[in-house]
Amino acid sequence: MTVRLLTNIGRLWTGHDVCSNAAILVHNDRIAWVGRAADLPQSVPGVVDDIVDVDHVENLGGALVTPGLIDAHTHPVYAGNRYAEMAMRSGGSSSSAIAAAGGGIGSTVTVTRGTDPWTLCNGVRERLREWLLGGTTTVEAKTGYHLTRDGELADVRLLRELEKEPMMPRVHVTFLAAHVVPPEYFGRQRDYVEAVASWCADAAGAGADSVDVYCDDGHFTAEEARWVLASGRNVGLLPRIHAGAYNRRGAVQLAAEMGCASADLLHHASDEDVALMARYGVPAVVCPGAALQVGHLPPVRRMLAQGVPIALGSDHNPGHCGITSMSLVISLAVAAFGMSVGDALRAATLGGAQVLGAPDRGILAPGRLADIVQWDADHEGAFAWSFGLKPRRVWRGGVPVQ
């Protein structure tokens, strides 16, 4: 039995409310009690007697404490970089010019396929650890840079195995073989869609939680996305969709029709799209770093006004955004999307838990996972000021992260 008392918390942001002079009692990997320190129970059967040892007491001073943050959209399984492409894009080069120079997703696919598994694994491990050290205790992680059956399944297994290692965040694995058509299927897009749909059962068996399709110009149509998402849903995978394009692609309509667990990016979402998401309860995952890169901001304030559930993601990927700090994502959401600090922090905790189908996290309450962060601040308003607030301490399942 492991018991820890986190006490003398100056400001506790639980996800539902704020409590001053608070305490958290952790039993094994779960929260046993949370509230004002003055109300700490005198008797909790089988637990209280084990917290009298001062070795189990952590003094948190007057700092802000929140649930562990959740990144609801990332692409961390890749090798190499595309820095030259980023420089070209910042100088005004078109996508076609970048592709002609050897850039684009295809370049990452080529490098990732040519990288040995050990090197690839080490790179992914380092990225995931950056998330955890930055206060992000759960990461949604997509495949999508091998685009072969064996490569994509190996990526699913890689993510699942890394999650088991010490000092790694929790990982929600998303199967994104429908990222783009690989070169060997040039001119045979329908064949590739059929192949990806047939791989979904194996992906679920390898440990994937969700299936995703990039529905956009140069990627996949709504009809193709429906085929893959239905195949994944039939084997127990949560359906998700990259819906960054204008509504003529039909991605948001498809998300509403299929009851997708999330529609992501939404840079060009229309009023009709927002109304559909509100009507059918489709959560939005918005990524301010990616939105700023492409120069189109999703209508987040309209979504909030209409009751669309919102989660935040970094959209970490090799071609657009290298962010691994969800505290920076919160800052950007406040500055770029006009979200309040409270709304942005909820989107990075409770909102992420909702879209990932993980009700055991995202909030500090009895029975929930003891994923906890102590921040280098005494008020959540610091997220809007710091642009990358640093954590002082992180606990994953009640265990301090070193």
Q: What is the DSSP letter of 82?
A: -
pLDDT value of residue 55: 30
Orientation of helix 149-163 relative to helix 117-133, angle to 10°: 40
Pairwise CA distance, residues 200 & 275, whole Å = 31
pLDDT for 62 beyond 90: no
pLDDT for 180 beyond 90: yes
As a whole number, mean pLDDT of residues 213-224 equals 94
One domain for residues 59 and 85: no
Which of 181, 273, 336 has its CA nearest to residue 263?
273
pLDDT tens for 75-100 read: 999 999 999 999 998 999 888 888 88
Pairwise CA distance, residues 56 & 73, whole Å = 35
One domain for residues 283 and 371: no
Which of 196, 193, 192, 296 has its CA nearest to residue 244?
296
Pairwise CA distance, residues 287 & 137, whole Å = 18
Domain boundary among 322, 338, 355: 355
One domain for residues 97 and 121: yes
One domain for residues 82 and 121: yes
**Averaged confidence pLDDT in the chain:** 92
Pairwise CA distance, residues 373 & 394, whole Å = 5
Pairwise CA distance, residues 213 & 243, whole Å = 9
As a whole number, mean pLDDT of residues 135-141 equals 98
The angle formed by the CA atoms of residues 40, 44 and 47, to the nearest 5 degrees, is 105
Looking up residue 36, the CATH number of its domain turns out to be 2.30.40.10
pLDDT value of residue 247: 59
- The reported pTM is 0.95
pLDDT value of residue 59: 60
One domain for residues 77 and 48: no
pLDDT for 49 beyond 60: no
One domain for residues 340 and 382: no
Number of domains in the chain: 2
One domain for residues 30 and 179: no
Listed in sequence order, the residues at least 6 apart from 305 whose beta carbon sits closer than 8 Å to its beta carbon are none
One domain for residues 208 and 167: yes
Looking up residue 243, the CATH number of its domain turns out to be 3.20.20.140
One domain for residues 31 and 114: no
* Both structure tokens of 6: 């986190």
pLDDT for 46 beyond 70: no
One domain for residues 221 and 370: no
As a whole number, mean pLDDT of residues 213-238 equals 96
DSSP string of 90-145? HTT--HHHHHHTT-SHHHHHHHHHTS-HHHHHHHHHHHHHHHHHTTEEEEEEE--S
pLDDT tens for 267-297 read: 999 999 999 999 999 999 999 999 999 899 9
pLDDT tens for 293-318 read: 989 999 999 999 999 999 999 999 99
Residue 60: pLDDT band by 50, 70, 90 thresholds? low
Least confident piece of the model among 44-48, 147-151, 279-283? 44-48
pLDDT for 354 beyond 70: yes
One domain for residues 24 and 150: no
As a whole number, mean pLDDT of residues 237-244 equals 96
As a whole number, mean pLDDT of residues 142-169 equals 97
Which of 373, 376, 384, 379 has its CA nearest to residue 66?
373
Q: Which residues pair with 9 in a beta bridge?
A: 22
- Could you tell me the residue range of the domain that residue 275 belongs to? 69-355
One domain for residues 270 and 339: yes
**Burial 91-130, CB ≥16 within 10 A → b, else e:** eebeeeebbeeebbbbbbbbbbeebeeeebbebbbebbbb
